[in-house]
Amino acid sequence: MRMEDTGLEGITIDLSRLDEIMDDNGLVLAGQWDYERVTYDRKIETKGQIYYLRVQAYAVEGDIGGRHAVVKLITPLLGKHYYPHGVEYGEGEDFPSAVVSTSKNILSQVAEELKKVQS
């Protein structure tokens, strides 16, 4: 599910600062990056189901691997995990309102912090 109108789409920020903000909000980078893209995930569990909130960005300057990059955020995603196949982000997935609400709150906090840094 695409999480539209979060205020994150199109924000450009230094990667090291983005790492701090995402970490503060429980979004984990782990090993999900390459030289052009970076992906942060937050696991949300409820009623025996697992969901992932995913925020992605791509480099507009520099090299993510070299840790000296400016990145631009794209529309976040919410996905449902299916063992053992992985995460599905399709529009046909069923997402509980509590999970959607939690995701929106997290993204709102991230957007607020990002806007403070850019001011």
In the three-class reduction of DSSP (H, G, I as helix; E, B as strand; rest coil), residue 23 is classed as helix
In contact, 36 and 64? CB cutoff 8 Å: yes
If you count them, how many residues does the chain have?
Answer: 119
Instruction: Tell me which DSSP letter residue 28 carries.
Output: B
Q: pTM for the full model?
A: 0.90
The average pLDDT across 76-102 equals: 90
pLDDT digits (tens, 9 = 90+) for 107-118: 999 999 999 987
Instruction: Provide the CATH topology of domain 12-118.
Output: TATA-Binding Protein (3.30.310)
Domain residue spans of the chain: 12-118
Mean pLDDT, the chain, whole residue set: 92
